[in-house]
Amino acid sequence: MFVVLCDLDDSAALWLDARFRDLGQSSLLVTSGLLSFARRRSQWIGREGTRAVVDLGDAGVIDQPDLVVNRLLSPPVAAWQWARPGERDYAAAEMTAFTLSWLAAVPGAVRNRPSPTCLAGPSPHPLRAAVVAHRAGLDVPDADLGAGTSPLWLLEAAVRNAGQAARVFHLVVLDGRIVDADGVEQRVGAQMPEGFSSSIARFAAAVGAAEGLIGIDIVVAGSRWWFAGMTPLPDLMFAGDALVQDLIGLVEKVPA
């Protein structure tokens, strides 16, 4: 069984689940709201390891999935909007704790395993991401930070540095490797700079995504490819069926 965890409005997750099904895979789409109202969530820890079962009622039962694609950002606060504030906080804490424990223990392939700061996986502060990218060998634009700085300051700085020829692209990176690298070069209309793929792999490892699925924004101008930000929620459709096949391939690599 494949499981795609997501928020209700995650169109990329809906697309991925549909593609899995089109290719004959047994796939279960689970939104944060559905997970929060599960009929039963159980976890056992013993000498032989851990096991967890999530009973979603009519939607199905998650026992030992072969693959989990996790795109949960946070507990579904909107689903509990009519509860008292204290009850909402308690439910959110319980949901976060279970998701962390559950996905950390799933024996199959999980992309991404959650962290205490972001359920969707690696999500460093943009400033830290920029520093790590620079250390990994990627081109990172100079930027001035201060009060009132735009949330997209890194992308905007990259566009300014690139000048009028700037073009923005999105890369999907799985386990440190750019998915469909040849297709990326075709869309950009230029070859990647020397060492770019290796720098991406070093960056992914440094932010905890050596076994993860992330998105990286770049700004291209001539022969320079500027790092412009990362996200634990890549736009999966940019990588298309090449990504779908790579994810299916992960199942074959998991030890029995």
Same domain? For 142 and 115 the reply is no
Go through 86-120 and write b for each residue having 16 or more CB atoms within 10 A of its CB, e for each that does not: eebeebbeebbebbeebbebbeebbbbbbbeebbb
Same domain? For 146 and 48 the reply is no
pTM summary value: 0.91
- The DSSP H or E segment spanning 6 is strand 2-6
Same domain? For 98 and 45 the reply is yes
**How, if at all, do strands 109-111 and 40-46 pair?**
unpaired
Same domain? For 114 and 169 the reply is no
Same domain? For 51 and 33 the reply is yes
For residue 111, being part of any structural domain is answered with yes
Cα of 249 vs its chain's centroid, Å: 17
For residue 236, being part of any structural domain is answered with no
Give the count of domains, the chain.
2
The three-state secondary structure class of 218 is: strand
For residue 199, being part of any structural domain is answered with yes
pLDDT per position as a tens digit, 160-209: 988 889 999 999 999 999 999 999 999 999 999 999 999 999 999 999 99
pLDDT for 255 beyond 60: no
For residue 237, being part of any structural domain is answered with no
Same domain? For 142 and 247 the reply is no
The two tokens of residue 99 are 């998701």
Say how many Å lie between the first and final Cα of the chain, rounded.
15
Residue 10's pLDDT is 95
Give the Cα separation of 89 and 61 in Å (integer): 26
Same domain? For 110 and 153 the reply is no
Same domain? For 25 and 110 the reply is yes
Q: Residue 33 — pLDDT band, cuts 50, 70, 90?
A: confident
Residue 244's pLDDT is 98
For residue 92, being part of any structural domain is answered with yes
Residue 252's pLDDT is 77
Give the Cα separation of 188 and 171 in Å (integer): 11
Q: Where are the alpha helices (DSSP H) in the chain?
A: 11-22, 32-36, 85-105, 126-136, 153-162, 181-188, 196-206, 240-253
CATH number reported for the structural domain that contains residue 103 in this entry: 3.40.50
Domain with 97, as residue range(s), is: 2-120+242-253
Burial class (CB in 10 A: 0-12, 13-18, 19+), 243: buried
Same domain? For 163 and 177 the reply is yes
Residue pair 132/209 in contact (Cβ under 8 Å)? The answer is no
Nearest to 217 by CA among 179, 167, 252: 167
